[in-house]
Amino acid sequence: MRHVNRLAVIGLVAGLGFVLSSSVAPAISVRIEKATSERPVSAKTAVTTGGTTDSGKTGWLTSLDEAYAEARKLNRPILVRAGATWCGWCRKLNDEIKKPSARGALSSYVLVNLDIDGSPRDAQSLGIDTVPALRVLNSSGRVVASHNGYMAADDLAEWLGKQLPKATAVMPAGLTDDGELDANTLQELIDQLRSREALFREAAIRRLATEPRLAAPAVVRVFVKGTLSERLAALELLDGWRAPIQDLDPWRPETITPQRLEALQTWARQTGDRPASAPAQLADDVMENARRELSRLMQADRDAEAEIVRERLARLGPALLPLVTAELKQAAKDRDRERLTALRYRLAAPTRLAMEWPGGFERLASTDAPTRQRAAEDLAARAQADASPLLRELFSNPDPLVREISLRTLRKVGGEEANEALMSLLGDPEPNVRAAVLKQLTEQPSRKLIPKLAEYVAVEKDADLLVHAARAFRAAGGNEALEALSRMTGHDAWQ
């Protein structure tokens, strides 16, 4: 796509600049090695210096998973302080935190005391490479402010007070609403093109991109009258719509002439007069740009940068899945596999989930089994019907517990469509997938599914799976199930 390199750079700069702040405060740079497993610590061991735990007692939690659950429950932002037992400035910061002037400001937050040596994955997910470090997250778990280094109690209280409005801001409904685009929602999305939150901009661009007939005139107005950053955001949309922007370059004001702007406005009026059409297949140049973005995804130094690239790729939707799957088969490094798998899940997920579940796709794609299993349970707790494509994508996860959780959740939120998807998986070549389906049919039997289950039994060769099928028939009960069981006695693999 045209202008893509320049647009990618400005998107990363704007996105990262909003949440990362430089600091001259005393601090120690660290290199956090990736751990193969986590050492979960109970909230009962929290240090009692303020804040709220799920038991109602004041204290600091010691893991992000605990903090995410508590923040959702209380609808409060999160304050993470990261340190290490060997860090002298961390001890000094802890002393300041205990002072009365700081404790008042802490009361508005769910508090987390993160040991970077004990929880390296949590530290990595927050981009922590210096201790002491502070991170403010909203109740959904998205980082909204950062500080590296020591702060005195009064300065800490002032800083936390300034971050609270950002940390408690309500996400614009238009970013996650998949309903019909009306005038109010259109204006809300247009307003987000100037947002300093990169992921908000990406969500707005993704939604507007599907509605050129309605959105083109407003987007052109942003390009004509907007600032440099607004013009760059508008240009991404116009480029995707094949607008006449070949000679327009926001970085070079002399290219934005009245004649070229008039041509763009004429195009917008004509686009608005045309009826909406179905989205086209990904063109060759779009696929080529997607490959370049995949390369950026793999090369990104920070998870926050990778997330922004992933959201840009998410605009292409499920049509990009074959390319991502092919790249996954060739990936040799754990980090590459994790990032590609997270992208794969994001492509199948609704925008609502991406906005409300920061870090969720990364945890779900983790090579660490406990991390991805906790993420699957977290997804199950928040999943709605619009998450069904993502749940089906999880059926191919190599972790049997993740598959089981996704199957269970799909049946809970997906209705009859879920049953059809479930039965289709009985044709999966992987025996573990078929076993997970049969387990679900045993735990949640349905007589409506007996005919399809009987068809499966007629072709299944695995004796162990036939035993599972027999249990499913027994759980369903009724004459039809009894007849299917009796036919199994003549099966070649029956024991």
Q: Is 42 helix (H, G, I), strand (E, B) or coil?
A: coil
Bridge partners, 131 (sequence order): 28
Separation CA 378–CA 313 (nearest Å): 24
Q: Write down the number of H helices and E strands in the chain.
A: 24, 6
Helices (H), 20-84: 64-74
* 42-81 pLDDT, tens digit each: 333 333 344 444 333 348 998 888 888 888 888 899 999 9
* Predicted TM-score of the model (pTM): 0.62
* Residues whose CB is less than 8 angstroms from the CB of residue 46 and which lie 6 or more positions away in sequence, other chains included: 53, 57, 59, 60, 61, 62, 113
Length of the chain: 495
**Domain residue ranges in the chain:** 4-167, 173-272, 279-347, 349-431, 445-495
Burial zone of 251 (CB within 10 Å; 0-12 exposed, 13-18 middle, 19+ buried): exposed
- The closest of 485, 478, 474, 469 to 437, measured between CA atoms, is 469
Q: What b/e sequence results for 448-474 when a residue is b if at least 16 CB atoms lie within 10 Å of its CB, and e otherwise? A: ebbebbbebbeebeeeebbebbbbbbe
- The closest of 459, 463, 452 to 421, measured between CA atoms, is 452
Separation CA 196–CA 192 (nearest Å): 9
Question: What end-to-end distance do the CA atoms of the chain give, in Å?
Answer: 61
Separation CA 91–CA 84 (nearest Å): 9
Token pair for 462: 């695995």
Of all helices (H) and strands (E), which one includes residue 483? helix 479-488
Bridge partners, 110 (sequence order): 78
Separation CA 359–CA 353 (nearest Å): 11
C-alpha 198: how far from chain center: 14
Q: Which CATH class is domain 4-167?
A: alpha beta
DSSP state of 315: T
Separation CA 419–CA 408 (nearest Å): 11
Separation CA 461–CA 398 (nearest Å): 22
> What per-residue confidence (pLDDT) applies to 192?
86
> What per-residue confidence (pLDDT) applies to 52?
44
| Ramachandran assignment for 133, one of left (phi > 0), alpha (psi -120 to 50 degrees), beta (any other) | beta
Confirm if 300 and 329 have CB atoms less than 8 A apart. Answer: no
- The closest of 218, 221, 195, 197 to 208, measured between CA atoms, is 218
Could you read off the pLDDT tens digit of each residue along the chain, which spans 495 residues?
Answer: 444 344 444 344 334 333 333 344 665 655 554 443 333 333 333 333 444 443 333 489 988 888 888 888 888 999 999 999 999 999 999 999 999 999 889 999 999 999 999 988 888 888 888 899 999 998 878 888 899 999 999 999 999 999 998 888 777 777 777 667 778 888 888 888 888 777 788 888 888 888 888 888 999 999 988 888 888 888 888 888 888 888 888 888 888 888 888 888 888 888 765 444 444 456 787 888 899 999 999 998 877 788 889 988 988 888 898 899 899 999 999 999 999 999 999 999 988 888 888 888 999 999 989 889 999 999 998 888 889 899 988 988 888 889 889 888 988 887 666 777 778 888 888 888 888 888 888 888 888 888 999 888 888 888 888 888 899 899 988 889 888 888 887 766 555
Separation CA 57–CA 48 (nearest Å): 8
Radius of gyration (Cα) for the chain, nearest Å?
Answer: 26
A 10 A CB-CB count for 77 gives 25
A 10 A CB-CB count for 120 gives 19
Separation CA 224–CA 493 (nearest Å): 72
CATH topology of domain 349-431: Leucine-rich Repeat Variant (1.25.10)
Token pair for 161: 């007070």
> What per-residue confidence (pLDDT) applies to 353?
87
Separation CA 241–CA 317 (nearest Å): 16
Bridge partners, 80 (sequence order): 112, 135
